[in-house]
Amino acid sequence: MIARFWTRLTRSDTARVTLGNGLGAGLGFVVLMVMTRSLGAEGYGAIAPALAIMDMGQLLIDTLLAAGVVTVASRAQEAPEGQAQADHVLATGTWLRIAGGLIYAALFVLGAAWLAPLMFPGQPNGAALVRLAGLTGGMLAMQSALIGGLQIRQRFGAVAISAAMKNLFRLLAVGLCFGLGWVAPLALGAALTLAGLVALMAVAVVGAPGYLRRVRPEPNALRDILGINKWMVLASLAIVSGRIDVLILSAWSSPRDVAFYAGAMQLCIGIGILSQAIVTTQLPKVAKYSTNQEVLGYIRRWAGRLPLALAPVALMPFVASWIVSAVLGPDFGAAGPVFAVLFASSMITLVMNPVLLLLFPMGSARLFGLTALGQVAAKWGLAVLVIAGWGALGLAFADVVTKIAASALVLGLLMRRLRHGKEGFAT
């Protein structure tokens, strides 16, 4: 029975991506534990904004461009030209994502003097830390771009290489720093930048897709990709808002609050990995839907899984402080309530993300983007009111409340369109 279960599990695309990304997440957890236990809450709070900038680069560029590339390439495979046309789309999208990584790095390098007092108040080397973090974020975005073409080819095991390499080299860099006694934020930032460069070079050597060498970018593909992704500029704020939350807390609250929020957010990474694995494997399939029956059947399947998400959310407040202390160290025990609330937020995303994918084949990417923008704007509006009195916990509650409201709005509008829409809505 166990052997049969394992065979079925490893044959599932979602399971393969989840298991593969789990390796990267496991390494990431080790990095997190080493840093929080070695630096304590105050020390980790001083470096956490740099980590947020580094990770935000990859998240931002992937969110802005990946969905459009996958959607257009999936449709291209259905055309008479098949894979040849899809390769043109993939080449165009990959170069576009590489350019995005370069722009991301340039913005932080050029704006470091202005950003440093906001993100690293009181740190004498804040500007240098901003530059290093921006460069690392750009390199991680380019690394992800080189791997991205494997998604549309449904080589899902290889898609997980990016996160695994990033965290492997991070672990080596952080271990070396603590072994040598280099615990200052600037020293850790430099080591993490070097780790990002090595990871990028490793992926470029072993994972650069062949179509980049034999296919040139195509203007029509660029137009189609940007036609979908123009609204993802707005939606991207929701994806990276957790990292921006860390930066907001670093400007308005104490390093201890920053550490609590950043550490709790990282503990939710397992939910994010599962959510991303589902999106990675479902988007190429969902992008081909063209009838109301297909969409309604998909919604019913996911609605049946809702109780599985609600049960751990109800249990978490009773065990959150114990989990945080066990993983991050006793100095983080007070972050338990923050973790419980952010865990609930992550479970909402896990349930809703697969359903929100339906907006792409329905030609409603604009709705996705506007709703995401509204959720983030409302959250940060509430943050102005609650951070002063409630710190990290207040910001976490603002995230959950606004996310529930946004999810309910999108689901209601989606169901209304299905009731009144016509068949064959894919564009």
Q: What is the pLDDT along the chain (427 residues), one digit of tens a residue?
A: 555 544 554 555 566 666 666 677 788 888 989 999 999 999 999 999 999 999 888 888 777 666 666 666 666 665 555 566 666 777 777 788 888 899 999 999 999 999 999 888 888 889 999 999 999 999 998 888 777 655 555 555 556 666 677 888 999 999 999 999 888 999 999 999 999 999 888 877 765 555 566 666 666 666 666 666 665 666 666 677 888 899 999 888 889 999 999 999 988 877 776 776 676 666 667 766 767 777 777 777 777 767 777 788 889 999 999 999 999 999 998 999 999 999 998 888 888 777 777 776 666 666 767 777 888 889 999 988 889 889 899 999 999 999 888 888 877 777 777 776 554 444 4
- What pLDDT is recorded for position 47? 93
- What pLDDT is recorded for position 399? 92
- What pLDDT is recorded for position 253? 87
CB-count exposure of residue 306 (10 Å: 0-12, 13-18, 19+): exposed
- What pLDDT is recorded for position 427? 40
- Where are the alpha helices (H) located in 181-254, listed in sequence order? 185-207, 211-214, 219-229, 232-252
- What pLDDT is recorded for position 209? 58
Domain regions of the chain by residue span: 10-420
Question: What is the C-alpha separation between 345 and 403, in angstroms, rounded?
Answer: 7
- What pLDDT is recorded for position 260? 94
Packing angle, helices 13-77 and 269-286, rounded to 10: 40
CA 373-307-29 angle, 5° bins = 65
Question: What is the C-alpha separation between 400 and 235, in angstroms, rounded?
Answer: 17
